[in-house]
Amino acid sequence: MKILSYIQQENGRFILDTPENHVHFIIWQILCLQAVFYAIPSTTTFFIFTIAGFFRNLIYIFNTESYFNGDIALFCIFFTNILNSVLISLFIKIVVKRSKKHLDYVTSYGIIHLCLSIVVSRFPVSYLWYLSFFLFVMITVLISECLCYKDNIERNLFEQHYIVRSNYNVYFYNTQKL
């Protein structure tokens, strides 16, 4: 794949070869996240609507009406979006792998989703839709940042333990030679 020529692997993490490839890599990351962002709610919507007996239609994903206007299908979509926020946090941690960058990616796929929702449905006029949208964004950012910080702390503790242990072994080895 051409995208793999843009990056090389070093210590289990992907880094960019040159600054020119940085833009291609970011676009690739955003497209991956957008694909995951639509795969998760479409799958969960299909299963939930099949179990509940609702009409299965992907137009609900791009719906710009309030989730709380009395339609039970839209209320189910609200909980599907919360589940989507939790699940996509895991994928953001895998794709982004850097702390303090998650808000950028969540905002970018949120803006793309808003634009597609305007094209497919209409401009959202309900303030409850915007509150729900920002709630989903905040859930995603907070969970993905927590996961990334947890991973960074574990990695730092492991590296510190490894350095202390390796220094101890070197010291022990040197004292035995004397």
Answer yes or no: is 2 within a domain: no
- What's the pLDDT score for residue 11? 44
Query: What residue numbers bound the domain in which 107 lies?
Result: 26-177
- What's the pLDDT score for residue 28? 80
Checking 34-38 for CB contacts under 8 A at 24+ apart, the result is 34/109, 34/112, 34/113, 36/88, 36/91, 37/84, 37/88, 37/109, 37/113
Answer yes or no: is 138 within a domain: yes
- What's the pLDDT score for residue 97? 67
Answer yes or no: is 14 within a domain: no
Answer yes or no: is 62 within a domain: yes
Closest CA to 60 of 106, 114, 117: 117
Answer yes or no: is 160 within a domain: yes
Domain tally for the chain?
A: 1
Answer yes or no: is 52 within a domain: yes
What are the pLDDT tens digits along the chain (178 aa)? 444 444 444 444 445 555 555 777 777 877 877 888 888 888 888 888 888 888 877 777 888 777 777 778 778 888 888 888 888 888 887 777 665 677 878 888 888 888 888 888 888 888 888 888 899 989 988 998 888 888 878 877 777 766 555 555 544 444 444 4
- What's the pLDDT score for residue 77? 82
